[in-house]
Chains A and B, each alone.
Chain A
Amino acid sequence: NAGVTQTPKFQVLKTGQSMTLQCAQDMNHNSMYWYRQDPGMGLRLIYYSASEGTTDKGEVPNGYNVSRLNKREFSLRLESAAPSQTSVYFCASSKRTGEVLGEKLFFGSGTQLSVL
């Protein structure tokens, strides 16, 4: 009963390096999300995927790309990491079918990323 699984849990990058954060859910959810959490701020939406095959920008998409590989997996890529991208990244999923709203978000345990 894993829920939402994120890898890696910790990562240190040098400025300019690239990396991909992986996320997978086993709840057969349609929608998946990437958030970042910074000290003293609420979580902010980076990108989301309403359903398999679609992705859309959230509040803070600059410097990131995403891929909805299949219904289970949603990855976040940093092409050229910057110190401003030091943050904790969370993947989440929700059932979301059609126009149904009001469903719970289920979160992974997060990736702590430091960019030096």
Chain B
Amino acid sequence: KQEVTQIPAALSVPEGENLVLNCSFTDSAIYNLQWFRQDPGKGLTSLLLIQSSQREQTSGRLNASLDKSSGRSTLYIAASQPGDSATYLCAVNTGGFKTIFGAGTRLFVKA
């Protein structure tokens, strides 16, 4: 059974710091991996989607990498800002319509 783990559960950093969020999954047979952002009381917003054949995707200050063989993905946030404060979730698609989510990392960027 595919399991997705995100460590740490919470992270606090000073503004301007570069940071890395981690996501690990137990079964390397995935079709894609998505990173989402969730603000309090809001829905999820897709940030980046990496296909299983890709190694990374970039959008602005965000860069997501994927290493299927080791079951890991990282989300790199450059020059963090207070507006980046949110919960970040990763999710893997294992085929069909099943997407497995991690519990998320709650990020707080201090001004």
Partners in one complex: yes
Binding site for B on A (CB under 8 A): 4, 31, 33, 35, 40-45, 48, 50, 56, 58-59, 90, 92, 96, 101-110, 112
Q: Is there contact, CB below 8 Å, between B46 and A105? A: yes
Q: Is B41 an interface residue (CB 8 A)?
A: yes
Of B42, B52, B93, B97, most buried by chain A (CB within 10 Å of CB) is B97
Q: Is there contact, CB below 8 Å, between B43 and A58? A: no
Q: Is B81 an interface residue (CB 8 A)?
A: no
Q: Given the interface contacts A42-B100, A42-B104, A45-B98, does A102 sit within 8 Å of B32 by beta carbon?
A: yes
The 8 sampled A-B contact pairs (Cβ below 8 Å) are: A31-B97, A40-B103, A42-B91, A102-B49, A105-B44, A105-B99, A106-B46, A110-B41
A92 to B91, CA, bound (A): 14
Q: Is there contact, CB below 8 Å, between B42 and A43? A: no
A105 to B89, CA, bound (A): 13
Q: Is there contact, CB below 8 Å, between B43 and A107? A: yes
Q: Is B51 an interface residue (CB 8 A)?
A: yes
Q: Is B4 an interface residue (CB 8 A)?
A: yes
Q: Is B102 an interface residue (CB 8 A)?
A: yes
Chain A residues with CB under 8 Å of B89's CB are 42-43
Q: Is B95 an interface residue (CB 8 A)?
A: yes
Binding site for A on B (CB under 8 A): 4, 9, 31-32, 34, 36, 41-46, 49, 51-52, 89, 91, 93, 95, 97-104
Chain B residues with CB under 8 Å of A31's CB are 97
Q: Is there contact, CB below 8 Å, between B44 and A102? A: no
Chain B residues with CB under 8 Å of A112's CB are 41
Q: Is there contact, CB below 8 Å, between B32 and A101? A: yes
Chain B residues with CB under 8 Å of A108's CB are 43
Chain B residue with the shortest CB-CB distance to A110:
B43
Chain B residue with the shortest CB-CB distance to A41:
B103
Measured CB to CB, the closest approach of chain B to A6, in angstroms, equals 8
Measured CB to CB, the closest approach of chain A to B44, in angstroms, equals 4
Chain A residues with CB under 8 Å of B42's CB are 109-110
Chain A residues with CB under 8 Å of B101's CB are 35, 42-44
Chain A residues with CB under 8 Å of B97's CB are 31, 33, 45, 48, 50, 56, 96
